Structure 1
Amino acid sequence: MMTESAQESKVAKAKAVKSGPERQEQLINLLSRKAGATTKQMQEAFGWQPHTARAAISTLRKAGVSVERTDAKRGAVYHIVALV
């Protein structure tokens, strides 16, 4: 059983980890770049599998964000056209 101070310490560490931008905000920043982002770049940035990266883009689209997909030599490139 944990003491109260140990539990408080654990909670403080968890809050410290969450202090940065949310994943969705990070993804929007990544896709807002002039060059956009490939699925591979999203995988490397977040530690995701390819299907998770595509699902995250789908979630953005459902939220009203206009995401464009273009094909390039390096693979599919996703880029935010307009934020709602």
Structure 2
Amino acid sequence: MSDKPKTETQTSKAKTSMKSRRVSRSEQLRKLLRRKSGATCAELQEKFGWQPHTARAAISGLRKAGECIERSAGEGGTVYRITERPANA
């Protein structure tokens, strides 16, 4: 290790990177789908600026990653939500 003291710029960059970690889209998507109310495809489109097929593909990707996604009909369209796995699964 170097015995050189850190400059003010190096110190402030380290503090900034520790404070404001950028949240990935998959984390944001999981957060929306974990809500009790879940999320519709339209909500995902608005939140992320996605086309409908992109929103559905992202949900499919979560399924492939092992998330248990429940799909139900709602007033505003199909509602998707992440649920706990059944005990027998």
Question: What is the TM-score of this pair, normalised by structure 2?
Answer: 0.70
> Where does residue 70 of structure 1 map in the other structure?
72
Give 3-state SS (helix, strand or coil) of 1:24's partner: helix
Residue 56 of structure 1, aligned match among 55, 58, 66: 58
Identity over the aligned pairs, expressed in percent? 56
- The Cα shift of 1:48 comes to 0.2
Taking the aligned partners of 1:66 and 1:27, their CA distance within structure 2 comes to 14
Which one has the bigger helix percentage?
A: 1
Question: How many residue pairs were aligned?
Answer: 68
Unaligned 5+ segments in structure 1 are 1-15
After superposition, the CA RMSD in angstroms is: 1.9
Taking the aligned partners of 2:59 and 2:39, their CA distance within structure 1 comes to 11
Taking the aligned partners of 1:38 and 1:51, their CA distance within structure 2 comes to 13
Unaligned 5+ segments in structure 2 are 1-16
Give 3-state SS (helix, strand or coil) of 2:30's partner: helix
Question: What is the TM-score of this pair, normalised by structure 1?
Answer: 0.74
Q: Which amino acid aligns with 1:67?
A: I
Structure of greater Rg: 2
Q: Which runs of 4+ in 1 moved over 4 A?
A: none
Matched, 1:27 2:29: yes
